[in-house]
Structure 1
């Protein structure tokens, strides 16, 4: 098949049909390419090292512990997406002391309690991406994600519409979580 001027039609370029369906997401190349990602993550330029020196409201800090702090993710997967971050500028979980490991665990439990009190999630995703190849957005500074989840919250809206629906402002969420944070 071809058009009147003998130019091939688009279906002639598609190759052999296969069983795969494809969902094209070219907007993800911005993330893959690292746009707006800090390149210099030494302690002076690392956002996780700078945040604790500012005001909690400005840095979206929800809680400060002895060795770690809890902060809202500036680019959340879901409303209430928190991170537990050690004050120490270290990249791997295996490089932190037992005291920091303990504090991370306690603050993670406290974060789950605060999220349950304010947002009533049905579950949580908790994890760390370590190293650039492991998916860490800021690989030079260890951080653990705590993402509240609700049944049916995963859909194609972010992919197709290139939009993530976050139903509350980060400043409001920070205030709610800080107020609901359990006393140690």
Structure 2
């Protein structure tokens, strides 16, 4: 017990530093997530109506678009979403599935050229029980990876470090996106 100091005078000291991220509370509370199947209320339906910089849109395809993830796992983490409000991959048309595949491939090429990514995690979480944060609107994650990118910070420090602001990453990727793709 001795003369240890309690943080804010509450609880027992644990000798851990705190990196406060209050902006994540919106995500934890489920704000801006669709509460039902209403297409107009879904963030992935609202984003395409915004200017690219405001909506963090990297590229607009014919049937799908690429957008920065607001809560990224790694720097450059983006998602490919159909414009149409559908929840399940099996609901895509052949054209939508092809457009998603094309944008995903191009996103990987662009991210690799801009950041030197050494690998990628690509995938969809189908349904809230499978981990989809926004289950009502289909989206595919494209997460760049580098050797050693999962270090002690998220494992021990329970903190993610991102070297660049989302708006800066969006601008780099949008600028590097090939015309006509």
1:130, 1:46 → 2: CA distance? 16
Where does residue 132 of structure 2 map in the other structure? 136
Given the two structures, how large is their TM-score scaled by the length of structure 1?
A: 0.79
From 98, 101, 105, give the equivalent of 1:102.
98
- Larger-Rg structure: 1
Unaligned runs of 5+ in 1: 1-29
Over aligned residues, Cα RMSD in angstroms? 1.7
Tell me the secondary structure at the aligned position of residue 70 of structure 1.
Answer: strand
Does residue 77 in structure 1 map to residue 73 in structure 2?
Answer: yes
From 38, 54, 59, give the equivalent of 1:63.
59
Where does residue 123 of structure 2 map in the other structure? 127
1:156, 1:75 → 2: CA distance? 19
From 50, 53, 61, give the equivalent of 1:54.
50
Q: Extract structure 1 runs of 4+ deviating beyond 3 A.
A: none
Does residue 161 in structure 1 map to residue 167 in structure 2?
Answer: no
Tell me the secondary structure at the aligned position of residue 44 of structure 1.
Answer: helix
Given the two structures, how large is their TM-score scaled by the length of structure 2?
A: 0.80
Number of residue equivalences? 154
Instruction: Please say if residues 120 and 144 of structure 2, whose CA atoms lie closer than 8 Å, have aligned partners that are also in contact.
Output: yes
2:73, 2:44 → 1: CA distance? 18
